Structure 1
């Protein structure tokens, strides 16, 4: 028997009415978990905080930074200090070396590098060893294979250090101290050779157009022969090392004699007058031969300990 359903009646959900725009709410509606926010208040707060748009506070800060006279003055002062420091560094470098002249020794290209390496290893067939000039200015290395450069000696020195580290690693003798000693020894020998050459030319009053960079270049060409010698020693053992040492030494001696002969003896006519003029050609020849004969000794000294 069905009981009478008294006190129960179907109810349908009431629709929430929007509060009047004029009267504020007595209580906040927290049923959705998100506090209500009026869109108009949101945009007004955004404009007030950001200086024009929501999230525009960073742009406003950047604009204020550039429009601030103190910040602009600080930026200009920092730029002036940087320029002054750059000028001071360039001035100090110019006291010891000419930057423009140093650029001349690095004015090379791939074609020149290949020709120069072939000339260093096979100099016997080369005929013309004279450096070419244009309006009393020597041509750059990229236009004259006989011109000395510093690119090949620099790259060859770095390659020699890397090759020495590989050779020591293969023989289980590598350590940073040994590699540093090898690099410093190779660099010191070049410096000693250049200083001895300059001192000899000064004491014997031999006037040439050889500059310090020229001597560094000719002294640094030995690293090419050293790389060839060490590679042959690693690939073919001690026999290959001594064969490569003999070949690279003879080729370098021939190259140095022919190159320095054109440099040192080119100004002989200017010194042909005066006392002791007859001794000048002999002194020049002694210096040239001594410089060439010194190269095999240095090559052997710097590469023999890398081959076992």
Structure 2
């Protein structure tokens, strides 16, 4: 009984110590894991790809949308002119607008296929696709009426916003970590920090409108942030700079884990929207 009581706390201590070692190994090991850098590569690609997707979608939608708006506006404001210019505009819409939409939808299917490949290679996902269309006619029909096509269009459109947010996250995380780690190189430089280039002023305003009555309530005290320094990294001794550098290493590890977490969210989001979308025509051509 005595040996059992003695060994039980020792065993519990060893178990806790092993768990602590495992957690530390996992936390510090983020630097040497290939998955970390694959995730970072995916996040780096998100912003330029998002800009490209946004450009393709906006350009393709603007042409038929502009022609349609012109016809509707002409019919509403100048119905007589519609009799003269309506037929040419309608022909342009049929000959240019509709083919443009089909080309954009085809491009969106191929771009969603590219996104699946990137997610599979860099985020270690496994996104199933829909069964390939057996004929070219069925491929065209699915291009317009298949739910997966429009899910892909929504995903590509959202990639611009997500890529922009990811770019700011990467830029801030890397810059902030570098400034801390490199503290011994600039520890007597008073210009190192985060500064405002000019004053920022905000005037709270509340507008109430009801039955033709409009009441504007403006705060008499504006909120302002003067031009100057927000955060300073100025240190005047080498010892403090080395301590700050050590903190920067810890912050860098946390930032890498944050990047992995964001990449994991990207993977789940991509799986949710791109599941059962149409495969690429180049990998699964119709007969």
TM-score where L is the length of structure 2: 0.24
The structure carrying a bigger strand percent of its residues is 2
Higher relative contact order, structure no. (Cα contacts within 8 Å, ≥ 6 residues apart): 2
